[in-house]
């Protein structure tokens, strides 16, 4: 049954249902409500986890690293500068193959200082070795958390669930929360691999030194496992769908005209607005569609190729930019498609909380018909 609640509140509820053993966080807007609620559950005796207040995001990430190394389920959440302060630890968590789950309430990065939404924070740490999910709405944000734990424990790769700051975290929507019984069916208790975690009865060292003889194989292993996690992610999406009757099986979702000649590519909450714009464009007799990426790491190369090859114009719409190059997502989409008959253009929208309107999105249909192929800041 659906109940009206705030995005952050719903995420805190579902995280508590997943029964992590350790939660550690440092407050930062717009992620604050999630960890505030988790702290409140603990204070009210409604949670089983240890809640460890940290003195910085670097410490919070280090706490969950250490806790996860002891073979238990862990959770943290952050945004923007907080995620960047965690960067070194994010690489360590992934490199040590610890199944940590983190929620990033996406927010712009300083300077200039801005508390509002874009996705520059997450895109900046894309090479850290974390699986990255992007939620379109709060129901999806809720559903992605149990999936994150399941995938992360099966692949031994950490998972970052991204949800747009304010647009999702502070918005009230009807949410269907999984019941405890249903969730137990989907997400069993975490069993760490024997001899691969810190245990006083069977002492081990983790995070050891690797000489040039081993380092490259260990990094390659991480790369290969990230690539092959696609299969496990799809399988868990479909398992979740079977039990909860919602969600989709693929790493991407397509919406719009079946034989579109112009397709938008986008991630996160903006997809909702793009769908509306696509409907309006198609009502005018045009053939448009939108490809939503639910998973950005591992990058869904096959799905992008199969959905976009043959499409004449591809407008990659994103809330992040690689300064000196183009949109981050645009660069990756271009890397999997190489037809000279196709135009793929990078459109930067909604940085630092700028509203992305249907009018703005529809204007891109005209902009992409023009000859130049420069990165366009629109809106």
Partner 1 sequence: MKNKLACDPGTSRNNKTGSWRTYKPVIDKEKCIGCGRCEMVCPEGCVYNTRKKNKAQKEYRAVDYDYCKGCGLCAKECPVGAIKMVLEEK
Q: What whole-number distance in Å separates Cα of residue 379 and Cα of residue 371?
A: 20
Q: What whole-number distance in Å separates Cα of residue 329 and Cα of residue 67?
A: 33
b/e burial code for range 78-106 (CB count within 10 A of at least 16 → b)? bbbbbbbbbeebbebbbbbbbbbbbbbbb
Shortest gap between Cβ of 65 and partner 1 (angstroms)?
A: 13
- Summarize as ranges the residues that interact with partner 1 (CB under 8 A): 96-97, 156, 195-197, 203-208, 214, 217-218, 221, 224-225
Query: In the structure encoding, which two tokens stand for residue 96, read together?
Result: 């040590």
308 with 275: CB under 8 angstroms? no
> Cis peptide before 88, with omega less than 30 degrees from 0?
no
Strands (E), 20-171: 22-25, 50-53, 74-78, 101-106, 131-134, 159-164
Task: Give residue 91's Cα distance to chain centre.
Answer: 16
291 with 264: CB under 8 angstroms? yes
Adjacent-strand bridge partners of 51: 23
Q: Which is nearer to partner 1, 43 or 210 (CB)?
A: 210
Q: Which is nearer to partner 1, 3 or 204 (CB)?
A: 204
Q: Which is nearer to partner 1, 222 or 337 (CB)?
A: 222
Shortest gap between Cβ of 207 and partner 1 (angstroms)?
A: 8
Q: What whole-number distance in Å separates Cα of residue 186 and Cα of residue 147?
A: 9
Shortest gap between Cβ of 95 and partner 1 (angstroms)?
A: 8
Q: What whole-number distance in Å separates Cα of residue 377 and Cα of residue 379?
A: 7
Shortest gap between Cβ of 193 and partner 1 (angstroms)?
A: 8
Shortest gap between Cβ of 224 and partner 1 (angstroms)?
A: 8
Shortest gap between Cβ of 77 and partner 1 (angstroms)?
A: 26
Shortest gap between Cβ of 196 and partner 1 (angstroms)?
A: 5
Q: Which is nearer to partner 1, 154 or 337 (CB)?
A: 154
Q: Which is nearer to partner 1, 174 or 207 (CB)?
A: 207
Query: In the structure encoding, which two tokens stand for residue 18, read together?
Result: 């997943």
Shortest gap between Cβ of 149 and partner 1 (angstroms)?
A: 18
Q: Which is nearer to partner 1, 108 or 131 (CB)?
A: 131
Q: Which is nearer to partner 1, 94 or 183 (CB)?
A: 94
DSSP code per residue over 303-366: HHHHHHTT-SEEEEEES---TTS--HHHHHHHHH---TT-EEEEEE--GGG----HHHHHHHHH
Q: Which is nearer to partner 1, 208 or 323 (CB)?
A: 208
């Amino acid at each position: 049954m659906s109940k009206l609640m705030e995005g952050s509140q719903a995420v805190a509820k579902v995280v508590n249902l997943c029964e992590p053993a350790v939660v550690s966080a440092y407050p930062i807007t717009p992620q604050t409500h999630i960890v505030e609620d988790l702290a409140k559950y603990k204070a009210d005796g409604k949670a089983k986890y240890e809640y460890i207040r940290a003195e910085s995001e670097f410490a919070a990430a280090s706490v969950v690293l250490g806790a996860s190394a002891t073979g238990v389920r862990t959770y943290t959440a952050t945004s923007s500068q907080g995620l960047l302060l965690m960067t070194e630890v994010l690489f360590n968590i992934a490199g040590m193959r610890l199944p940590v789950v983190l929620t990033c309430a996406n927010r712009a990065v300083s300077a200039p200082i801005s508390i509002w939404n874009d996705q520059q924070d997450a895109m900046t740490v894309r090479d850290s070795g974390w699986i990255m999910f992007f939620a379109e709405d709060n129901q999806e944000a809720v559903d992605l958390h149990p999936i994150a734990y399941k995938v992360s424990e099966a692949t031994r790769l950490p998972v970052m669930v991204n949800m747009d700051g304010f647009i999702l975290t502070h918005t009230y929507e009807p949410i269907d929360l999984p019941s405890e019984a249903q969730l137990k069916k989907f997400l069993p208790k975490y069993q760490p691999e024997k001899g691969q975690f810190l245990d006083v009865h069977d002492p081990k060292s983790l995070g050891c030194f690797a000489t040039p003889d081993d380092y490259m194989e260990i990094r390659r292993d991480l790369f290969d496992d990230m690539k092959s996690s696609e299969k496990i992610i799809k399988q868990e999406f479909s398992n979740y769908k079977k039990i909860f009757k919602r969600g989709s099986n693929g790493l991407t979702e397509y919406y719009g005209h079946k034989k579109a000649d112009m397709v938008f590519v986008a991630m996160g909450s903006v997809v909702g607005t793009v769908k509306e714009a696509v409907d309006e464009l198609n009502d005018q007799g045009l053939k448009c569609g939108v490809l939503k990426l639910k998973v950005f790491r591992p990058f869904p190369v096959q799905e992008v190729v199969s959905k976009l090859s043959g499409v004449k114009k591809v407008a990659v719409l994103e809330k992040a930019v690689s300064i000196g190059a183009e949109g981050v997502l645009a660069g990756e989409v271009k890397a999997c498609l190489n037809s000279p008959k196709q135009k793929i253009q990078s459109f930067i929208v909604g940085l630092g909380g700028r509203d992305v309107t249907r009018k703005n999105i529809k204007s891109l249909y005209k902009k992409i018909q023009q000859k130049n192929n420069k990165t366009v800041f629109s809106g």
